[in-house]
Each structure stands twice: as structure tokens, then as C-alpha cells.
Amino acid sequence: MDLANFSAKLEPFLLMAKSLKGAAAAKLIQDATAAPGVFVFSELLELPNIQELGKSEQHQKFLSLLQLFSYKTYQDYLQHKDKLPPLNQSQIIKLKHLTIVSLAADRRILPYADLLEALDISNVRELEDLIIDAIYLDLLNGKLDQKEEQLEVSYTMGRDLEPGKLEQVLAALKDWASTTSSVLATLDGKINSIAADTAAAKFNLQEHEKILQDNLKYVHDKQKEKSLGGGMASRRAAFQLGDRENMSMDVDEPDGKGKNRKASQEMAPKNARKRNKF
């Protein structure tokens, strides 16, 4: 939304208004309020020669007309139309556009029913066309929800501020700043809490990992110790088996000392027989 463009549209009227008074100044107001693309009027309204129109009974209603387009709505026009100059079709459409802007500034969701009443329209199709035109003119941005019959507003242009409303705006801004500070403080607290929880979770994970590694090392050492012990027992059993086999060989010896012992036993009787002969 280009606010500078809105001000630029008013600039030619500002230049002309500085030298106009009375009926000419009143005619300028009529032209400015009907001109395409002119939606802000505060600079024109503040000019001294324009303000002088309020002192003239004949031209006072034109100053009221400029005030209407600056910060009031179509309902204000309907209530005070007998004190205002008659509006042409261009002025009526523009005032309705500005009325939508004012309503959108207060609420993000605008039901069709409220808009139909505020704009004095009985046809939904006419209302939607009016809203679409306002969006194309960059007065507001939003989405038409035809199912729910409402306008969802994203943003709007800013209208001129009515005298006496500055204090309300400042109070609203102060409340907004207080609410924002409270929300930020709450968010900071949540962030700090999440950071503390994350640090604690990380510490617990590290401790768990350390305990796990210690347990794995313990199991590994035990398995290694058991494996080494089993090998020594196997070697001892092999050595014992070898000793038993050697002992068996000493007892049998079929080709060695056993054969000589048998031979000596067989020879013994012969010697004995020889001794018996003498």
C-alpha cells in the first residue's frame, strides 16, 4: 500500500486551494471528494482558507462534507444528510469504500450482515463488488469468504484522525505496547525454560551414554578374561592327556624292554637244569 501515492493525488487540489475562498473553495471540496484516487484529505482540511468556510452559513456545509470524507462514515452521512450537500454517485461509492476501511481498522473479520447494514446495501453481489473495487484501489487487502459470508482483512490504509481522537489512539498504542511487552516476556521465559530443559536432557543423555560405555567395557573385559581362562584350561588338559599316553607306552613297550624280559624268563630254566646235573 503506497501512502505517498494517496498524498500525491491530493497535491493538485492543495496547490489550487491556497488561493481560493468562499464559493470557489467550496467547489474545490466537491471536486476533491469526487476525484478518483483521492482518499486522504487532512492537509486540505487544515488550510486556513478552507477552515474559514466554517464561519459562513452558506458554505459551512462544504466544510462538513470535507470532514465527512476525512474521518467519518456512510452512516454519518445518512444521519446528517440534511446538513450536507447532496452527493453524486462517485462520492457515494468513495464514502462507502472509506467506511469499509474504517470498519476494517477496528475488526479483522467483517461479517456481510454488518457491512450490508453499515453501507445500506441489500444485495450481497453489490457488496462483494464494492469490496473487490476497494481491494483493487489498494485501500485494503483481504479475502472474501463466501461460505462464511464474511470479509477477512489483512491490512487497510489509514484514514485521517478525527479531532479529539488522538488521546484514544495514544491509549490504544500504550495498551498494545504493554501487551506486546508482556507477550515478549512470556516468550523469553518459555525460551529460557526450553533452553534449560534442552541442556538438562543433553546432560542426561551424556550420562546415559557414559554409563552404557562403562557397562559395555565391563562386559567386554569379562568376556576377554573368560576367553583367556578357557584357553589355559585346555592347554592343561592337553598336557595331562599327553602324560597319561607316555605312561601307557612305558608299560606296554611290545618291541622293547618287554621282549627282553620274556627272553630272560625263557632262559632261566635252562640254567637251572644245568645246575641240577652237577
Which residues are within 8 A (CB) of 92 and not within 5 positions of it... i.e. 6 or more apart?
Answer: 74
Q: In whole angstroms, what is the distance from residue 166 CA to residue 106 CA?
A: 16
Locate 167 and state its grid cell. 488521546
Which pLDDT does position 243 carry in this prediction? 56
Decide if 127 contacts 115 (C-beta within 8 A).
Answer: yes
Q: In whole angstroms, what is the distance from residue 164 CA to residue 26 CA?
A: 25
Q: In whole angstroms, what is the distance from residue 97 CA to residue 133 CA?
A: 8
What are the tens digits of pLDDT across the range 140-165?
999 999 999 999 999 999 888 777 76
- Looking at this protein, which amino acid is placed at residue 122? S
Residue 151, H or E segment: strand 150-156
pLDDT band for 170, please (50, 70, 90 cuts): confident
**CA 111 distance to own-chain centroid:** 27
Best CA proximity match to 96, nearest among 16, 39, 21: 39
Locate 38 and state its grid cell. 483521492
What distance, in Å, lies between the first and last C-alpha atoms of the chain?
157
What are the tens digits of pLDDT across the range 87-116?
999 999 999 999 999 999 889 999 999 999
Average pLDDT, the chain: 83
Which pLDDT does position 248 carry in this prediction? 53
What are the tens digits of pLDDT across the range 177-206?
888 888 988 898 889 989 989 999 988 998
Q: Which residue has the higher pLDDT, 223 or 52?
A: 52
Which pLDDT does position 242 carry in this prediction? 58
Say how many C-beta atoms besides its own lie within 10 A of residue 87's C-beta: 20
Label residue 133 exposed, middle or buried (CB < 10 Å: 0-12, 13-18, 19+).
middle
Position 244 pLDDT exceeds 90:
no
Best CA proximity match to 65, nearest among 17, 22, 29, 20: 29
- The DSSP-derived string for 34-64 is HSTT----HHHHTSHHHHGGGG-TTTHHHHH
Residue 111, H or E segment: strand 109-111
Which pLDDT does position 103 carry in this prediction? 94
Of the given ranges (53-57, 240-244, 270-274), which has the lowest mean pLDDT? 270-274
Q: How far is CA 139 from CA 39, 158, 162, 215, 275, in A?
A: 9, 9, 19, 71, 155
Which pLDDT does position 227 carry in this prediction? 79
Q: Which residue has the higher pLDDT, 236 or 65?
A: 65
pLDDT band for 258, please (50, 70, 90 cuts): very low
pTM for the structure as a whole = 0.64
Q: Which residue has the cell 477477512?
A: 152
Which pLDDT does position 249 carry in this prediction? 54
Which residues are within 8 A (CB) of 202 and not within 5 positions of it... i.e. 6 or more apart?
Answer: none
